[in-house]
Amino acid sequence: MTKNDHIVRVALIVGLAAVWWLAVIPGSINLIGEYVRSTDGQPSALWEQEVSTWSGYVVVVAFVAALLWYGYGASKTIDRWKSVNHRLAWSLFLLATACMAVFAGIRLMAVAEGAELVWGVYVFHGCGLYYVASVLSSPTRWKYTPPLAVHFRKA
């Protein structure tokens, strides 16, 4: 891979995270505002801001995990690629994003009616961003590692 390939793929990850931050999170907050109610009397605007903040944390963890996945796959330090369980490595980064989503969800479990939707949004923000970023920007050697990536990257 050339230096330009690395720059393009890292820029793609950064761009996806920016889109997630600027478009997906606000859209999700609007959805949550319609279906989820605070049970502790907290004003909905304040509660939605807290959900937005934690969604941002989840997106940051997913962004870092995507960058780490790319860096791990692009590194030249491993000589025998076939002996490396790259699906396990990919899954561990996914697990990190899922753990952050669960942590964010636990923080709001007792204070919201309809919190299941918030959990879904957190998982979508974290795992969704990581999955899309890893499918579109995995290093060439590992481009088919994410599940179903073969359907998105056929070349």
The average confidence (pLDDT) of the chain is 82
Ordered by start, the domain boundaries in the chain are: 3-152
Q: Does the pLDDT at position 42 exceed 70? A: no
Distance CA 69, CA 75 (A): 10
Q: What is the pLDDT of residues 131-140, one digit of tens each?
A: 999 988 888 7
Burial class for 79, CB neighbours closer than 10 Å (0-12, 13-18, 19+): exposed
Q: What is the pLDDT of residues 16-35, one digit of tens each?
A: 899 988 988 888 888 887 77
